[in-house]
């Protein structure tokens, strides 16, 4: 019981001395376009014309690096010199369309997407079907047009998380 009280007293004392307290920076949701910036091609977020480098866990950064030109909503902390990403949501894929997200499946039924949102399987039709078959188990984004019951004619697609490194 003494330690929590001591921590609370230290926090109260730091508020009095610095005005900052023990609070962490507030996490917020920020919308921008994922881009590569500068000569060094630094992964960044373009927030209404202001380009800020992106930092975060390597798994999240690897996925964002595969989404150049996508419009995303970032959850994290935004400062003038960086965006610290905790999570993200794809609002528009790099082709400007709202994507389906899920796991790419190849089995006796053909190539499909196990949709993350609905949990249903969507059959995929594409001229790139041979390459898609090789990506079985990968987490992907897919855009296109509905052409039948639970069938999507693929316009564009990309891997977010490979099933094997």
Given a contact cutoff of 8 angstroms between Cβ atoms, the answer to whether 55 and 85 are in contact is yes
**pTM, two decimal places:** 0.80
Q: Is the pLDDT of residue 6 over 50?
A: no
What separation in angstroms does the CA of 18 have from each of 22, 56, 63, 106?
10, 28, 38, 58
Banded pLDDT at 25 (limits 50, 70, 90): low
Domains of the chain: 28-92 (2.40.50.140), 100-161 (2.40.50.430)
pLDDT of residue 79: 84
Bridge partner list, 105: 112
């Amino acid at each position: 019981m003494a330690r929590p009280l001591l921590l609370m007293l230290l926090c109260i004392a730091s508020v009095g001395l610095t005005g900052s307290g023990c609070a962490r920076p507030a996490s917020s949701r920020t919308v921008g376009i994922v881009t590569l910036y500068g000569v060094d091609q630094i992964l960044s977020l373009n927030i209404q014309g202001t380009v800020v480098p992106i930092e975060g866990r390597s798994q999240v950064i690897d996925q964002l690096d595969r989404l150049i030109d996508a419009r995303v909503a970032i959850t994290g902390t935004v400062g003038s010199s960086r965006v610290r990403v905790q999570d993200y949501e794809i609002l528009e894929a790099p082709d400007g369309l709202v994507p389906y997200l899920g796991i790419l499946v190849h089995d006796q039924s053909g190539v499909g997407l196990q949709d993350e949102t609905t949990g249903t399987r969507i059959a995929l039709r594409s001229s790139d079907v041979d390459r898609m078959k090789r990506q079985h188990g990968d987490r992907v984004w897919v855009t296109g047009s509905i052409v039948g019951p639970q069938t999507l004619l693929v316009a564009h697609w990309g891997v977010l998380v490979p099933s094997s490194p």
